[in-house]
Structure 1
Amino acid sequence: MEKFERSERNYLIAVLKLAGEPIAVTAARFGISVQHAGNIARGNAWMVETRAGRAVPNGLTTRAAIAIEHALGFWPSDASKGFVESSAMTMLRSENGRRVIMEDIGRWLTNP
């Protein structure tokens, strides 16, 4: 599983847990242990709350969208790709400018 897929799977696990799905059902759905699913759900619950149901552009991870909002002050959309790209240095200097998030953003920027 690629990083992008894993990130979105982890987000979905947190969504399902917060929606009330039993963690054992979620674990079985994704073929992971109950303990691992519980850890993922707890570790990603903050993203579910921060995203608050807002749409994330295709090709962008939730964590990268949140990083863009924290660093640049707006929720990303396909229309904002140019501004996000021109703000790469601001993103890198932010507390969320980790390599993995910058890879997520770079993948989104290069998608048509």
Structure 2
Amino acid sequence: MTDLTRTFGCPVELALEVLGGKWKTVLLARLKQGPLRYGDLRRLVPGLSDKMLTQRLRELEAIGLVHRETVAGHERYALTARGESLRAVLQSLYDWGRAFAAEADVKLAP
């Protein structure tokens, strides 16, 4: 779990503390596209175990980036207003990763 009670040396350190760790940013990037059910997230993020998905979603909920909502009897996850504030950052990371992959001849899944 993220410890936000300590003093951080700079805003980048804080951002990396909140967003760091495997899968958090990937989950946020998927949710940036719109609300998703748990099963959809599992399908869209291969290699992520049920235990880790549950843990990361709980962490993202605890820091106020994601919330659970029930629509037509189905539970799904969506970005909160705070999570939405990451939209430009997530898009920049996506764009950078895509450009880097092309330059470094790294394969990306379709």
Q: Which is strand-richer, 1 or 2? A: 2
TM-score using structure 1 length: 0.33
TM-score norm. by structure 2 comes to 0.34
* More helix, by proportion: 1
